[in-house]
C-alpha cells in the first residue's frame, strides 16, 4: 500500500481544497491529512474561522481522506513520515522547494494549486461584502 501525506489548515473548505485532496489521493492508496492545530495556526499568524475539531470533522467526511492527524509544529513532518510509513509527501506548489529536504525519506510532489480560489481570497471578499 502506498501512503501519501499532505499538510494544511483547510479552513473555509472549498473546491480548491477538494482538488488538492483528490489529486493527493491519486498519488497512492491511503491519504493522511495533517491538520494544523489552532495553537499552531496562531504561531503562524493565522486565524481560522472553524476550530480544529470542526475542520477535522469536515476533512473526515471527504471520501479521499483516510486519516486526519494533528500538526502542531513545522518540525514534525519528518517524524510523521517515519511514524506513518509514508511513501509520498504532497503539498501545493506555492511551497515549491520548501520541503525538498524530505526527498531523502520519501517522494515529494508539489501539486499545482487551483488558481482562482483560496481561503485568503474568500476571507478578503467576505470582508469587502461586510463593509458595504
pLDDT of residue 131: 66
Pull the grid cell for residue 107.
517522494
pLDDT exceeds 70 at position 39: yes
* Domain extent listing, the chain: 3-130
Sign of CA dihedral 124, 16, 62, 70: negative
Active site residue 44: yes
pLDDT of residue 4: 98
pLDDT tens per residue, range 70-93 = 999 999 999 999 999 999 999 999
What kind of architecture, by CATH, is found in domain 3-130? 3-Layer(aba) Sandwich (3.40)
Distance between CA 63 and CA 49 in Å, rounded? 23
Q: What is the DSSP letter of 12?
A: S
Distance between CA 107 and CA 90 in Å, rounded? 8
Closest CA to 5 of 73, 51, 72, 70: 70
Catalytic member of 2, 44, 47, 103: 44
Tell me if residue 120 falls in helix, strand or coil. Answer: helix
Pull the grid cell for residue 7.
499538510
Amino acid at each position: 500500500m502506498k501512503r501519501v501525506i499532505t499538510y494544511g489548515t483547510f479552513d473555509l473548505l472549498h473546491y480548491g481544497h477538494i482538488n488538492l485532496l483528490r489529486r493527493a489521493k491519486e498519488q497512492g492508496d491511503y491519504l493522511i491529512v495533517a491538520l494544523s492545530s489552532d495553537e499552531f495556526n496562531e504561531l503562524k499568524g493565522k486565524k481560522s474561522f472553524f476550530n480544529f475539531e470542526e475542520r477535522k470533522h469536515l476533512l473526515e467526511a471527504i471520501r479521499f481522506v483516510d486519516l486526519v492527524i494533528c500538526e502542531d509544529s513545522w518540525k514534525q513532518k519528518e517524524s510523521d513520515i517515519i511514524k506513518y510509513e509514508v511513501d509520498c509527501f504532497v503539498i501545493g506548489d506555492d511551497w515549491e522547494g520548501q520541503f525538498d529536504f524530505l526527498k531523502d525519506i520519501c517522494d515529494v510532489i508539489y501539486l499545482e494549486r487551483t488558481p482562482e480560489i483560496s481561503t485568503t481570497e474568500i476571507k478578503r471578499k467576505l470582508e469587502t461584502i461586510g463593509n458595504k
